[in-house]
Structure 1
Amino acid sequence: MPIAKKTLVSAAVLVALAATALWFLNPPATTRQAAHTAVPVRVVKVLQQDVPRYASGIGSVLSLHSVVIRTQVDGILTRLLVKEGQLVKVGDLLATIDDRTIRANLDQARAQLAQNQAQLQVAQVNLKRYKLLTVDDGISKQTYDQQLALVNQLAATVQGNQAAIDAAQVQLSYTQIRSPVSGRVGIRTVDEGNFLRMSDAQGLFSVTQIDPIAVEFSLPQQMLPTLQQLIRAQDPAAVKAYLGADGNNPDTLLGNGHLSLIDNQINAGTGTIRAKAEFDNAQQKLWPGQLVTVKIQTALEQGALTVPPTVVQRGLDQHFVFRVNGQQVESVPVQVLYQDSGLNIISGVQAGDVLVSDGQSRLKPGTQVQVLGDPLPVVQAAQVQP
């Protein structure tokens, strides 16, 4: 064989070997894709459970009774018997005012009453004597009539003296300031020794009831039929109050209460209706003036099919979910019957169906999937809190 021909054959063999090595080192894209067609996803199962439905709104905490303590008589504040922040009960003595002048007026009124009562007694004795003398014309009828008028005049005077005593006793009672409600004493504005006047609008301090307490909130006017049904129910509707805007975090729960009333008219400017709920507040987590998120239970959905919110996808004209069928997924249209930040109630699937909860962006009907590990912790969040 000529040398030139051998060289050509050797070159061809080398080219073929190089091409084969290059093919193994860089396989075609179709071969690489075939090895990685399964899309990794995380899944959850559809749960069937009883789910309470809630309506949410922003509310403010209100005291059921809040009183500014003011004096009803002018005088010097002699004693303050409570401290700021102290809890008091109805009838507890809060403060005293100098009562010497009022006691003197009371003693004077009592003395005047005793004097007039003595005069009335004498006039009544004379009236009896005159009445006997008129039988045999011992005195004139005019004298008897004058004595009868004197008795009536003195009786009226005695009644006036008794009224003056009652008024003085009322004024004397005002010198002892007692709490009209049970609650917490606020910041005081005066100290012992100050001269108090009835015209002082600021008052001494306030007493605000803390337990129980109320929360006032507003809901859309479309909720009126539901609220009317709840207010007529035998068992009061449950209401929860949360700190801030997070109405699902148990750590922010401030109290459990019940719906107590709805307002008698709708606010035409905002299209909302006000309602009020009452809470037991022994731990004093709710405070007057505080802003809270209110959740009121409007219904109980029994045997509802629930999934985490991340499962449901929004299409052009409807919602859908990806259901795992073997090694592939299929698109299933669903209806969202109820939703909140913790779970969605849907229809169109069955309890126990395995649905994709993470990784939907790379899916389409028929895509092969690879389930990664156990279901996400979000499945636990979808469980209804007791």
Structure 2
Amino acid sequence: MSNPQSCKGPVAPHGYACKGRMRLGWVAAVAAVALLAAGGAWWWQQRGAAPAQGQAAGPRFGGGGAQAQPVSVGRVERRDMRVMVSAIGTLQSRATAVVRTKVSGELKALHFNEGDEVKAGQLLAQIDPRSYQAAFDQAQGTLMRDQALLRNARLDLQRYQELKSQDSIASQQVDTQAALVRQYEGTVAADQAQVDAARLQLSYTRVTAPIAGRLGLRQADLGNVVNPADANGIVTITQLRPIDAVFSVPQAQLDRIRERQAGGAELPVELWDREQRQLLARGRLGALDNAIDLTTDTLKVKAAFANADGRLFPNQFVNVRLQVDLLKDTLTVPAAAVQNNYVYLVQDDGTVTQRRLRVGVADGDRVSVEGDLPEGAQVVTDGLDRLREGARVMVIDAQAAAKADQAVQDAGQRRAQMLRNLTPEQREKLSKMTADERRAFLRGLRAQREGAAPTASAPASAPAPAASPPPAAR
């Protein structure tokens, strides 16, 4: 390397340029060796740490490690299970009536409020009765006149009959008077019919409710001239108590339904809201349709509901659950515990083992099963994704954990609300405090808002901006 021939080109006196280049080459070689040594050491450390990381990660996924996985459990119980058929239904009113006037006239009065509950025969509206009252009076006057003529004709007939018995008048005169009496009797009968018709027309000026139910929105206002031909009428009445739900059931369930009905059993029906979270009403199955729908292979059925609280409305969409059977004393587990026809059974040594099941019907949050499960045993309901066969578990109370989480969330919300309610001066003061002073300040504010004693709020006045050290000194 000290060979002068290795340095090419012109050189300075005494070979200084060639020596500088050789020094740079040595530095580069030493740096490369150092980098290789550092890389080798890093690789060796990573190689040794990999098994330790694998061992530490084992218990996380339910391996054979000693770390127990927190899980929630449910009990294996025997209980009666309902066999339910779910369907989508629509509520229908049993009767709907459009209240129309039976006579024409001006609407003079309304005796109802929209949405009221009314009884059959209750007065709803009043039509101007003056013309109908006049017609009634006229018919009644005609009747009274003809009744007077009839009474006079009868008296004359009686006199003629007495004279005839004395042989004082001819028989023809008696017969003529008798015919006149019968004529007046017919006239009086016709007059009476006219009076009855006029009275009926007069009564029609009082518009009453034909059925009991709930009123809809008013379709006519005061002063309008209404008549029987109006399409919308005055108002609509819908019967809501009881109310029916119409839905379809599969043809495969018809034999079981008919057997239960033939035995005199009442099939319970439940109505649920759209999200199937709130129970709306309970009723019983009523009538079955007389033909199966070929397009859907279902049969329409109708169920009746008392609707005592009036919360159900016609045309309302509901989810229907029809109970077609009841399984007595069957083995059940929580529905959340079943995963791909398997459950994790918690053993006495704190480990879990998988048990294969045959799943039956579901009722609420439980499902009937058939399998090797002892009654009263515990099965995992939460934390299934972290478990493997033989994994160690720690049973926790799901309700207690949920309450703790909710308490933490509530505390965070109260703290955030308190910070939002601070004045600009309080926020500036808070920004200059230490952590301990800040906590004392917030405790004082909380105590003041909760109506605590004045001594409880004393820490709040202690940390003033002047008492705290300046930022540069901290």
Q: Of 395, 405, 420, which residue of structure 2 is paired with 1:373?
A: 395
1:23 shift after superposition: 8.4
Rg larger for: 2
Larger deviation: 108-117 or 301-310? 301-310
Question: Cα distance 1:232–1:41, how it changes in 2: closer, same or farther (>3 A)?
Answer: farther
TM-superposed CA distance for 1:59, in Å, is: 1.7
Query: For the residues of structure 1 that align with 2:49 and 2:291, how far apart are their CA atoms?
Result: 79
1:277-318 superposed Cα distances (whole Å, 9 cap, x missing partner): 33333433212221111223333322221112343344xxxx
Contact 2:361 2:367 in 1 (8 A): yes
Q: Is the 8 A contact 2:132 2:201 kept in 1?
A: yes
**Map of 2:245 onto structure 1:** 215
- Cα offset, 1:166, TM superposition: 0.9
CA deviation after TM superposition for structure 1 residue 41, in Å? 7.8
Alpha-carbon offset, residue 355 of structure 1: 3.5
Counterpart residue type for residue 309 of structure 2: Q
Q: Which structure 2 residues correspond to residues 125-274 of structure 1 after superposition, within 5 A? A: 125-135=155-165, 138-229=168-259, 231=261, 236-246=266-276, 249=277, 252-274=278-300
Give the Cα–Cα distance (whole angstroms) in 1 for the partners of residues 295 and 154 of structure 2. Answer: 73
Q: 1:351 aligns with which of 361, 368, 375?
A: 375
Deviations 1:38-77 (A, max 9, x none): 5958454312122333222222222333221111000000
Q: Secondary structure at 1:219's aligned position in 2?
A: strand
Aligned residue number for residue 32 of structure 2: none
**Cα distance between partner residues in 2 of 1:57 and 1:312:** 24
Q: Is 1:100 the equivalent of 2:127? A: no
Does 2:75 align with 1:75?
Answer: no
Larger displacement relative to structure 2 (167-176 or 152-161): 152-161
Does the Cα contact within 8 Å between 2:81 and 2:363 map onto a contact in 1? no
Give the drift of 1:29.
9.8
Displacement, 1:170? 0.9
Could you list the per-position Cα deviations for residues 201-224 of structure 1 after superposition, in whole angstroms to 9, with x for gaps in the alignment?
111111223344332222223333
- What TM-score do you get using the length of structure 1 for normalisation? 0.77
Tell me whether 1:91 sits opposite 2:91 in the alignment: no
| Structure 2 residue aligned with 1:335 | 358
Residue 344 of structure 2 contacts residue 379 of structure 2 at CA under 8 Å; is this kept in 1?
yes
Change (3 A) 1:191 1:359: closer
Give the letter for the 1:351 counterpart.
Answer: E
Between structures 1 and 2, the one with greater helix share: 2
Q: Which amino acid aligns with 2:366?
A: L
Shift of 1:341: 5.9
What is the alpha-carbon distance in structure 2 between the residues aligned to residue 229 and residue 331 of structure 1? 40
Structure 1 residue runs without a partner (length 5+): 1-19, 378-386
User: Does the C-alpha gap of structure 1 residues 161 and 233 become closer, same or farther in structure 2, counting only changes over 3 Å?
Assistant: farther
Which structure 2 residues correspond to residues 102-117 of structure 1 after superposition, within 5 A?
102-117=132-147
Q: Deviations over 1:13-52 (max 9, x none)?
A: xxxxxxx999865549997798843595845431212233
CA separation in 2, counterparts of 1:259 and 1:156? 58
Contact kept, 8 Å, 1:327 with 1:368, in 2: the verdict is no
Q: Report the secondary structure of 2:395's partner residue.
A: coil
Q: Which secondary structure state, in structure 1, belongs to the residue aligned with residue 392 of structure 2? A: strand
In structure 2, C-alpha distance between the alignment counterparts of 1:23 and 1:280, rounded to whole Å = 75
Residue from 326, 330, 338 that aligns with 1:312: 338
For structure 2, the 5+ residue unaligned runs are: 1-43, 400-474
> Root-mean-square deviation (CA), in Å?
3.5
Deviation string for 1:177-216 (max 9, x for gaps)?
1122233221112111111111111111112233443322
How far apart are 1:155 and its partner, in Å? 1.2
Amino acid at match of 1:257: G
8 Å contact from structure 2 (residues 351, 393) kept in 1? no
CA contact (8 A) 1:227 1:262 kept: no
Name which of structure 1's ranges 74-83 and 121-130 shifts more when overlaid on structure 2.
121-130
Whether the 8 Å CA contact 2:271–2:281 is kept in 1: the answer is yes
Normalization by structure 2: what TM-score?
0.64
SS of the aligned residue for 1:369 comes to coil
Q: 52-61 or 114-123, which moves further after superposition?
A: 52-61
Greater mean alpha carbon deviation, residues 67-76 or residues 38-47: 38-47
Letter in 1 for 2:391: V
1:51 to 81, 87, 93: 81
Shift of 1:330: 5.3
Aligned length: 351
Relative to structure 1, the CA distance from residue 145 to residue 324 in structure 2 (aligned partners, 3 Å threshold; closer, same or farther) is: same
Shift of 1:345: 0.7
8 Å CA contact retained: 2:108, 2:128:
yes
Q: Secondary structure at the match of 1:155?
A: helix
CA displacement 1:246-292 (0-9 Å, x = unmatched): 1xx2xx22223333433344334433223333333343321222111
Tell whether the 8 Å contact from 2:90 to 2:316 is kept in structure 1 after alignment.
Answer: yes
- Letter aligned with residue 240 of structure 1: E
